[in-house]
């Protein structure tokens, strides 16, 4: 009898804990199991998001406003677009990590002549992006379903070059550890054309920030750091263009970016070359890359 009472108490407690989250406005629109995870699509009013955890418990991968799909919802994607201020006319673009396809869609709109290769490890994410986020592929926008590092190594062997490379590969936790090392960044750098630009989306909290910063610095030297809740690194293959050059290029995008609800002035204010990290932090390498363990530390 006491066992039954105990059980009832447990069930009540469970409801008490789960209750509020179930009552939230988020509505599960679609869920799809893949080799890697469960890909979940939630609607919260007009905002539609992809999450890799139930009720988006550990963050949202990407979001779109279904009533105005062209408008950028997330801050970090806006900061990634600022890569165009360093090289306004990239002919060939590589994006590692598809998410909902916000970046390739917008880039294709801004640069309809440029070739865009997207690398996404999870076929389920590609299906979800096409079905729920209006992501379209074509002659100029292509997707390859493969691990980012495997793709980069192969592209290196084939001698491919890109004018813009965007690193945006995340699992439910963070960037996979083999995509954070000095060796990986050297491989990526070797794919950049002489006027090539790298944009990388990272987090700005936790001890990992120091380690990532010194690792990027070791490969690319000084870079532009755009920091809000996320941090976007903008680096170049050769000399980093001065701020005046960046501002001149940015002016040309004012109108186009307004259509995406991206404020060019706000982005420009974020550009910084100040090294606000511990320069003594250890560089991440293939031999030493405990990123997720470092991410646990404040």
Partner 1 sequence: MQIPLTYVIAGWSGFFVMSVELLGGRLLAPTFGSSIYVWGAIITVFMLALALGYLAGGRWSLRSPTVRKLGTLLVLAAVSVLPTVWLGPTLLDAVAVRLPDPRFGSLLGSTLLFFVPTFFSGMVSPYAVRLLVEERATSGRHAGQLYFVSTFGSAAGTLLTSFYLVLYFEVNHIFGGLMAISLAIGLVAWIGGSKQ
Residues engaged in binding partner 1 (CB under 8 A):
35-36, 121, 146-150, 153-154, 157, 176-178, 181, 183-184, 285-290, 293-294
Q: Minimum distance between the CB of residue 38 and partner 1, rounded to whole angstroms?
A: 14
Residue 257 φ/ψ, nearest 5 degrees:
-70, -30
Give the active site residue among 163, 168, 210, 278: 168
In angstroms, rounded to a whole number, what is the distance separating the alpha carbons of residues 276 and 75?
Answer: 20
168 is catalytic: yes
In angstroms, give the least distance from the CB of 265 to partner 1: 40
Nearer to partner 1, 5 or 157 (CB): 157
| Closer residue to partner 1, CB minimum distance, 84 or 121 | 121
CA distance 190 to 262: 31
Give me the least distance between CB of 50 and partner 1, in Å please.
Answer: 19
Measured CA to CA, the distance from residue 34 to residue 36 in angstroms comes to 5
Q: Are strands 92-96 and 62-65 parallel, antiparallel or unpaired?
A: unpaired
How far apart are CB 58 and partner 1 at their closest, in Å? Answer: 18
Sheet holding 47-51, edge to edge: 27-33, 38-44, 47-51, 62-65
Nearer Cβ to partner 1 (163/168): 168
CA distance 271 to 184: 25
Beta carbon nearer to partner 1, 186 or 222: 186
* C-alpha 109, offset from chain centre: 19
Task: Decide: helix, strand or coil at residue 3.
Answer: helix
Q: Where in the sequence numbering do the catalytic residues fall?
A: 168
């Amino acid at each position: 009898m006491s066992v039954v009472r105990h059980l009832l108490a447990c069930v009540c407690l469970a409801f008490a804990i789960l209750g509020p989250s179930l009552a939230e406005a988020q509505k599960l629109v679609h869920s799809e199991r893949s080799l890697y995870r469960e890909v979940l699509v939630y609607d919260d009013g007009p905002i539609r998001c992809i999450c890799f955890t139930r009720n988006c418990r550990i963050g949202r991968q990407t979001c779109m406003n279904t009533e105005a799909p062209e408008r950028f919802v997330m801050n970090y994607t806006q900061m990634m677009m600022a890569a165009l201020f360093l090289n306004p006319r990239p002919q060939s673009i590589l994006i590692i990590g598809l998410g909902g396809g916000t970046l390739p869609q917008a880039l294709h709109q801004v640069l309809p002549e440029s070739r865009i290769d997207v690398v996404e490890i999870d076929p389920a994410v590609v299906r979800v992006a096409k079905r729920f986020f209006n992501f379209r592929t074509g002659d100029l926008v292509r997707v390859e379903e493969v691990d980012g590092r495997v793709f980069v190594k192969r592209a290196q062997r084939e001698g491919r070059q890109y004018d813009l490379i965007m690193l945006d590969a995340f699992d439910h936790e963070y960037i996979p550890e083999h995509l954070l090392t000095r060796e990986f960044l050297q491989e990526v750098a070797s794919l950049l054309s002489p006027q090539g630009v790298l944009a990388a989306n990272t987090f700005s909290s936790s001890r990992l920030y120091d380690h990532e910063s010194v690792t990027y610095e070791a490969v690319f030297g000084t870079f532009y750091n755009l920091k809000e809740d996320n941090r976007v690194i903008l680096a170049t293959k050769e000399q980093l263009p001065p701020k005046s050059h960046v501002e001149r290029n940015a002016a040309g995008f004012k109108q186009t970016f307004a259509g995406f609800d991206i404020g060019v002035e706000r982005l420009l204010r974020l550009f910084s070359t100040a090294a606000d990290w511990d320069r003594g932090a250890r560089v991440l390498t293939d031999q030493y890359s405990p990123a997720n363990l470092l991410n646990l530390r404040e």
